[in-house]
Each structure stands twice: as C-alpha cells, then as structure tokens.
C-alpha cells in the first residue's frame, strides 16, 4: 500500500514539473493590448539582455517610474545582427509598444528608434533574418 502511494505521488510530481514550463510562457495577445500601440520618448535607464526576453527601461519626462519594455529574446536578436550595445543607458529613444492589459508600465516592443537614426521594427525583424 505504501509503495503505491509513493508511486502515485511521484507520477503527480513528475507531471507537475512537466507542465511548469508551459505555465511560465505567455501569449502576446494574452498579456498585451494588441489593438492599440503606444509611443513614448525618453531616456534609457537600464538594459538587460537576459532570457526569456531582453528588456529596457525608459524614463519619460524624468518620471520616477520607468516604462519596462520587453524586447525579443537575446539570442533571436543576436542571430539577426542586433548587438547588445544597439541601445545604451543614457540614450534618448522613441519606443512604440503594446501596453500590458493589467495597466502596469510594461510594454511589448514594436519599434525602437535610437540616436543617429538607428531603427528596429521588431515585428519585421523577427519575421526576417536581418534587423538592421
């Protein structure tokens, strides 16, 4: 009897571990309002090139609370020739994104314009093999 309980518990635990990665992933349409794009201009205060997505934070008009903007995964950007220094802290940028449905200051990047006319259309970039 005790052996059966241990086997059942092990199977349930294993299934739980198998499902965890699926729960962690989100759909863009599920998290972001894809029917309306927002455009902001501001100064990049932080850039993180980490998984599952690269991210940057932008202060608009010296705001205390930055906008957090989700970019594509770093590896996807890297293979499309976007380097980590494409945008740097302290640079003035214009970002167009879909805002999070929960009303937080989080967005899913659509385009980014950095100094000297550097521009990325992330949707086009991810569909092709070249971003710049």
Round to whole Å and give the CA distance between 22 and 125: 25
Q: What is the pLDDT of residues 104-125, one digit of tens each?
A: 999 999 999 999 888 999 888 7
How far apart CA 14 and CA 97 sit, in angstroms, is: 38
Domain count, the chain: 1
Q: Is residue 22 in some structural domain? A: no
Residue 13 resides in a domain: no
d(CA 67, CA 94): 12
Which residue range(s) make up the domain with 86? 28-127
Question: What pLDDT sits at residue 20?
Answer: 43
In a domain, 46, yes or no: yes
Say yes or no to pLDDT of 26 above 90: no
**CATH label of the domain that carries residue 35:** 2.40.50.1010
For residue 80, tell me if it sits in a domain: yes
Burial of 129 (0-12, 13-18, 19+ CB in 10 A): exposed
pLDDT at 32: 92
How many other β-carbons are positioned within 10 Å of the β-carbon of residue 93?
19
The pLDDT score that the predictor gives to residue 8 is: 53
Cα gap 112→110, rounded to integer Å = 7
Which residue is it, tokens 């976007």?
82
pTM: 0.75
Range 92-112 average pLDDT:
95
């Amino acid at each position: 009897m005790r052996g059966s309980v241990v086997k059942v518990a092990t199977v349930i635990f294993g299934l739980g571990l198998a499902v965890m990665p699926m729960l962690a992933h989100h759909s863009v349409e599920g998290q972001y309002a894809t029917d309306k794009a927002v455009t902001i201009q501001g100064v990049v205060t932080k850039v993180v090139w980490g998984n599952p997505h690269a991210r940057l934070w932008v202060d608009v008009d010296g705001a205390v609370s930055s906008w957090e903007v989700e970019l594509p995964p770093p590896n996807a950007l890297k293979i499309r020739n976007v380097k980590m220094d494409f945008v740097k802290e302290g640079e003035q940028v214009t970002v167009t994104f879909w805002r999070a449905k929960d009303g937080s200051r989080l967005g899913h990047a659509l385009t980014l314009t950095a100094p000297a006319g550097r521009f990325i259309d992330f949707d086009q970039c991810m569909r092709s093999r070249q971003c710049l």
